[in-house]
Amino acid sequence: MIQDIPKVNQSIITKVFPPRKPAAHKNDFGHLLVIGGSKLYTGSPILNALAAYKTGTDLVTIVAPKRTADTAAAFSPDLITYPVEGDFFTPAHLDKVFELIQGKTAVVIGSGIGRRRETLTFVQEILARQTLPIVIDADAIYGLVGQHSLVKEKKFVLTPHAYEFQILTEAIPPAGLEERIELVKKWSVELTSTILLKGSQDIISDGQETMINETGNPFMTVGGSGDTLAGIYGGLLAQGVDEFDAGCAAAFINGAAGDLAAAQLGPGMLATDLLNFIPQVIMETLIS
């Protein structure tokens, strides 16, 4: 019954943000690698990275085609960037990306990369050869079509919206929430992965546990709010939070930050506005 499905609340923040020890030092709270961007989409990995930083990740590195990497470097001095030649990722970039993955604690892949065949082949090779926690977002989900074995028995998480879920599973998410929940649970079991199905009510399931998130609002249809979600999720994974709790917290924080931004800006809010409210959402709980 739907009333038996728990809803994410502020307690998830206390759970995933334990007090920091006075002797903490750099790298204790993770190093995230963002693999994203293309000639066409330069902003997505920037939003990933800044959202992860705002969530407390110590270090974030962006590897991206040159135009995106240069844009990111100019956008913020906080961002570490590594450019690769060309307009899109291809298998020719695999050696360099695998080199950069060394020493990282989590990965976000997919935001803004596009769906060219050679780019999706690049994604498939990354997933086939990695065991780190990875957020598979946006265009990277298309690389899993007919390739479900790439995610099984690994610490990968998927963050599709309804259409991406349909592309991945060939199953249309039903309108009814109870049926939608059952479908997400079924595919979480099938893929042995945590799925965060984005929507007006986010559904997070690892097949064993399932929760609903109700933060967020219709103004978050603006481009980039999914990129901030993926960045928060990746940042929490990089800090060592498990896949299910990180998904619940990411959905709650992203939606609550969007609610604060919308309260001030309404239909004029941008994803970059949402970023500024992430620390407020976290701290309002931790100091209460």
Kindly report, residue by residue over 172-225, the tens digit of the pLDDT: 999 999 999 999 999 999 999 999 999 999 999 999 999 999 999 999 999 999
Cα–Cα distance for residue pair 272/133, rounded to 1 Å? 25
Percentages helix, strand, coil for the chain, rounded to the nearest 5? 50, 15, 35
For residue 157, count other CB atoms closer than 10 A to its CB.
29
pLDDT of amino acid 269? 98
pLDDT of amino acid 4? 79
Q: What are phi and psi of 7, to 5 degrees?
A: -105, 140
Tokens for 180?
């939608």
pLDDT of amino acid 83? 99
User: Is 56 annotated among the ligand-binding residues?
Assistant: no
pLDDT of amino acid 288? 78
User: Is 224 annotated among the ligand-binding residues?
Assistant: no
Q: Are 238 and 57 in contact (CB under 8 A)?
A: yes
Q: Are 158 and 167 in contact (CB under 8 A)?
A: no
Structural domains present in the chain:
25-286 (3.40.1190.20)
pLDDT of amino acid 2? 65
Q: What are phi and psi of 85, to 5 degrees?
A: -70, 150
pLDDT of amino acid 237? 99
Sequence-separated (6 or more) residues with CB below 8 Å from residue 148: 190, 191
pTM for the full predicted model:
0.98
User: Is 25 annotated among the ligand-binding residues?
Assistant: no
Looking at residue 136, its amino acid is I
Task: Give bridge partners of residue 106 from the DSSP assignment.
Answer: 32
Per-residue pLDDT of the chain (288 residues; tens, 9 = 90+): 566 789 999 999 999 999 999 999 988 999 999 999 999 999 999 999 999 999 999 999 999 999 999 999 999 999 999 999 999 999 999 999 999 999 999 999 999 999 999 999 999 999 999 999 999 999 999 999 999 999 999 999 999 999 999 999 999 999 999 999 999 999 999 999 999 999 999 999 999 999 999 999 999 999 999 999 999 999 999 999 999 999 999 999 999 999 999 999 999 999 999 999 999 999 999 997
User: Is 161 annotated among the ligand-binding residues?
Assistant: yes
Could you identify the residue written with the tokens 């619940």? 248
pLDDT of amino acid 44? 99
